[in-house]
Structure 1
């Protein structure tokens, strides 16, 4: 009995020693990593393809994105088009303001060659095209760019999404966000069933958080200002926490451990590590 007891004691001591070598954070991290934030492809997979193009969206889906983040403006003839900048010079062979062109004129522009010659046939997509081509595969996170420059853009978006929902059997979600809080208030009143959020890149006080929480489902702080403290303040007001634009694997890992609800990245495949 004595020898058997000694064997048991020695075994327990060995196991304890092995366990003690583990990092103190191993156990809680293993629990935290069970949480999986929404993987949001920033302008598609813009780390690999020209941003906000069909090629970029296809690549993002291939790399495992849950949502595509798309930016929208209004053309001269009031068509919702997908493009980031208010001007055309950076990512197309066009010049000047996007809103000075009709949708048909915008569709003639080359939106891929600036990135690489193999993308020379890429065009500026219409929002309708993005919804029709990808809305059944992934969620779509729509950002209204400079909505104050396009009076009535919220109504146009509500109309477009209403048409899409009527003819779609997809259960993938649509979300809408903007830096413009008033624009999101207006859109929420038009389509209360669609989750809206507000983007921020500066500190925010509790009074403003309270105002946003009255209509928004999520807040989307820039990664450089997102801390555990801010996350807790946002969650205290009943909103989810997203962050943008995270293109470093270690930072993605850190935000996953923080259990944020969504991470926007140019590299959707970085979530796999």
Structure 2
């Protein structure tokens, strides 16, 4: 089992940020939470405050921190010239203005049965010339075409600037997307990730960083060369391409410090525990579940607040959300 060295550094980073954004004293560690270490569950801004701003933009991350998020999440793809780019999808049409850029018309290509523009076919400079757009049709597009696509380095610059402003630590939980596919293209993300973390003094077990992936082999490779904390993502047993490789929680604990299961794996529609959180905690793993959205039907109960209360009561250690303010507010109410 990996030695979880000062796992609460993430929680401490969150507490520090919470002081600046209104977290109450009742939410201090020891307030009776059912998390692995008894600290309050963390609010993780899913692609930033992506319900309010285009995902993975500085604006989305700024709003997330203003709303009290403890952690911000960047998804990482690889550019043609080997630079980590903050995007969720490997294609670009749904989240950027690439289709309206005539200079890139000839980059459209078919991959995986889809005609689109692909991150791996663009240089970092080209990608950062694109503007981000809201990906969900039922959300506001008022902020489309106002914010550039980010590199991971640009995000880390933003984090350092925010830390200097607030005198706090800003925690990040990057997800490395499709590492095996990129490695097959000669664009292995592991060296680029290690170099970025090394350059910022973040390649350490006590850094406010958790690296997540659906790819267990990538996490094993990373575990062999780094002490940074790791989380194994998990969609569910019916997801052949994202099911933690059929690994048990005990096997995952050999190379990871946490698990990121989809929320439906944790509770029944009636709100009863499936036993997953309890089993993960017994294996020494924290549980960061995804994704809670104010504008989507809740998994349990009638409102997103009902869903959040159920997840917090279950003992999850962190919740990914597109709307951090709601998750922060419900946590504060439960901590009173």
What TM-score does the superposition give when structure 1 sets the normalisation length?
A: 0.82
Alignment check: 8 A CA contact 1:217 1:240 kept: yes
Q: What stretches of structure 1 move > 6 A for 4+ residues in a row?
A: none
Report Cα offsets for 1:5-59 as digits up to 9, x if no partner.
Answer: xxxxxxxxxxxxxxxxxxxxxxxxx944885201100000001110011100000
Task: Establish whether residue 234 from structure 1 lines up as the match of residue 280 from structure 2.
Answer: yes
Corresponding position of 2:67: 63
CA distance in 1 between counterparts of 2:66 and 2:291 reads: 19
Partner residue of 1:158 out of 190, 194, 199 = 194
The question of 1:112 aligning with 2:138 is answered: no
After superposition, the C-alpha distances for 1:172-229 in whole angstroms (9 at most, x for unaligned) are 601100111111111111212x110111011479952222110100011101111431
Which SS does the other structure have where 1:176 is aligned? strand
Q: 1:210 aligns with which of 230, 242, 250?
A: 250
Distance in 2, matches of 1:39 and 1:172, equals 18
Describe the shift of the 1:257–1:35 C-alpha distance in structure 2 as closer, same or farther (beyond 3 A): farther
Are positions 1:122 and 2:122 aligned together? Answer: no
**Contact 2:159/2:170, CA 8 A, preserved across alignment:** yes
Match of 1:183 in 2: 218
**CA distance 1:207–1:142, change in 2 (3 Å):** closer
Counterpart of 1:131 in structure 2 is 156
Q: Distance in 2 between matches of 1:259 and 1:208?
A: 20
1:107-131 deviation per Cα after TM superposition (whole angstroms, max 9, x unaligned): 1111137752444221111101111
Is 2:180 the partner of 1:148? yes
The answer as to whether partners of 1:112 and 1:123 remain within 8 angstroms in 2 is no
Is structure 2 residue 309 aligned with structure 1 residue 246?
no
Q: How many residues align?
A: 240
Change (3 A) 1:113 1:197: closer
Aligned to 1:245, the other structure's residue is in SS state strand
Distance 1:159 1:207 in 2: 29
**Paired residues of 1:111 and 1:121 also in contact (CA < 8 A):** yes
More helix by share: 1
SS in 1 for 2:307: helix
Contact 1:32 1:258 in 2 (8 A): no
Check 1:207–1:177 CA distance in 2 against 1; reply closer, same or farther (3 A cut).
closer
CA distance in 1, matches of 2:93, 2:199: 32
- Matched residue SS, 2:147: coil
Query: Aligned-pair RMSD on alpha carbons?
Result: 2.3
User: Structure 1 stretch 107-116 or stretch 126-135: which is displaced more?
Assistant: 107-116
CA contact (8 A) 2:53 2:143 kept: no
Bigger Rg over Cα: 1
CA contact (8 A) 1:70 1:82 kept: yes
Task: Indicate conservation of the 8 Å contact 1:69/1:140, yes or no.
Answer: yes
Gaps of at least 5 residues in structure 1 are: 1-29
Give CA deviations for 1:50-87 in whole Å, capped at 9, x if unaligned: 00111000000010000001100110000111001000
In terms of mean alpha carbon deviation, does 254-263 or 75-84 score higher? 254-263
